[in-house]
Amino acid sequence: MAGVFDIIGPVMTGPSSSHTAGAVRLGLAGRAIVGGTPTRARLGLHGSFAQTYRGHGTDLALVAGLLGMKPDDERVPVALDLAPGAGLEVAFELIDLGPEAHPNTVRMLLTARDGREVLVVGSSIGGGRIVVTRIDRFVVDFSGEYNAVILAYLDRPGVVAAVTSLIAADRVNIAAMRVSREARHSRALTIMELDQPIRPETMATLARVAGVDMALSVPPIALS
């Protein structure tokens, strides 16, 4: 059944819920995954994004999200002008991810403030909704609609159990959990979508679990 945002779209600055509002949210997702405004962003535009990105303001919207703006922010049209002042260097390229990729897809190679490079691939799927499909080498399925925890760790017995026990002890309910791994006993990535926000103290404890090398808390990514 279609929801209200599928019919009338979100409150936004720009002409298209898919090419503008959804693109802002994809930028916000990338920003959340690297832990703040990146220093560099190489944005590869696929399909419809590549064909109409200037006319529909997709380029502006993606950068606005990376700068932390919401879809209805009046500064979205000048996001590219504001990027240098925020320490963000941006480059665009047109790419072809093949026929199986959603037409509104962006591949973001982001450099975090601490020098880490993170690859994030996501699509705008209509009505301002998004799905993140890849983080680095991991295939994921992340909508940004819930509070979430993203963990990278060594795939070995006990890590996931320790993490879920700590979350349960904090009386936070796990709505969905998806695990992706490079290979058996190699590096793995888990995304947990939560019904409640997780406390900073709990996140600090999760980061100290043996085998965990990245622990991020991601709030719901604003629709408006």
pLDDT in tens, the chain (224 residues): 444 444 334 444 444 455 589 999 999 999 999 999 999 999 999 999 999 878 778 999 999 999 999 998 999 999 999 999 999 999 999 999 999 999 999 999 999 999 999 999 999 998 889 999 999 989 999 899 999 999 999 999 999 999 999 999 999 999 999 999 887 878 999 999 999 999 999 999 999 999 999 899 999 987 66
Reduced to 3 states (helix: H, G, I; strand: E, B; else coil), residue 91 is: strand
What's the CA gap between 205 and 17, in Å, rounded? 38
Q: Which CATH superfamily is domain 147-218 in?
A: ACT domain (3.30.70.260)
Q: What's 200's DSSP letter? A: H
CATH 3.30.1330.90 region(s) of the chain?
8-136
197-222 burial, b at 16+ Cβ within 10 Å, e below that, comes to ebeeebbebbeebebbebbbbbebbb
> How many whole angstroms separate alpha carbon 30 and alpha carbon 52?
21
pLDDT of residue 17: 52
Percent of all residues in the chain with a pLDDT value above 70, rounded to a whole number: 91
Residue ranges, CATH 3.30.70.260, the chain? 147-218
| CATH code that applies to domain 8-136 | 3.30.1330.90
In this structure, what is the dihedral angle of CA atoms 58, 64, 67, 70, given to the nearest 10 degrees?
-120
What's the pTM? Answer: 0.85
